[in-house]
Amino acid sequence: MRLDKFICKSTALTKAQAIAHIEEGDIKVNGNVISDISAQVHENNEVIFLGKQLFPRPFRYLLMNKPAQTICSNIDEVYPSLFNYIDIERPQELHIVGRLDADTTGLVLITDDGRWSFNITSPNKLCPKVYRVHLRKSIDISAKILFAKGIKLQGEPQLTAPAILTIVDDKQVLLTITEGKFHQVKRMFASIGNKVVGLHRESIGCVTLDVDEGQWRYLTVDEINDLNP
């Protein structure tokens, strides 16, 4: 963790205040004054601020059912931020793990643990995400083979990783992917001549959506560990 972030996570200081104290030489790490705000601090390091050892607050892990026409951002933009639905202290310290488009609904994970979120979003970790997809046109069963082999997206040099397509009815499918490319689900169906008209994420790894739209809860210890073994 960066030193400035460690200070913010261990005190009530703002980022600007933490940076000022670091640059003024008020922080010691393992007995040495550190003035580099980007210096990395690890769990076993001793961090002293004005003579007092600092201990970071525990990480937080949330699940939310994202409503449509909200954005995965900490601030309002063209659409309101989904953080408007979350009543929690220090929301500015949190970030979204794998963003959804404004018109996409469903499961969103939120945390302040950067290492945990990276291990979920990294394609190398092969974390499955399941989407319920509503299509404009009927889908042929042959699409299952295409998705299993990988889809050529416009502008991408390589095929997508193999995906699992489960047909619910002629215009509704469940799609399981392990990547998170830009607009990936919509682009995959566009590449076979169809259009996504509704998109809802139902699960990420072992975690399944189980709260109403606009609601959230903390993840259980088992869910946290299972998502990031």
Q: Report the catalytic residues.
A: 101
* Burial status of residue 163 (CB atoms within 10 A of its CB: 0-12, 13-18, 19 or more): buried
Residue indicated by tokens 């009815």: 169
Residue 191 DSSP one-character state: T
The residues, any chain, with a CB within 8 Å of residue 133's CB and separated by 6 or more, are: 172, 173, 174, 175, 185, 189, 196, 198, 199
- Do residues 179 and 160 touch, judged by C-beta distance below 8 A? yes
SS3 175: strand
Strand partners, 177: 129
Q: What is the token pair recorded at 157?
A: 């040099």
Dmax over Cα atoms in the chain, in whole Å? 68
SS3 8: helix
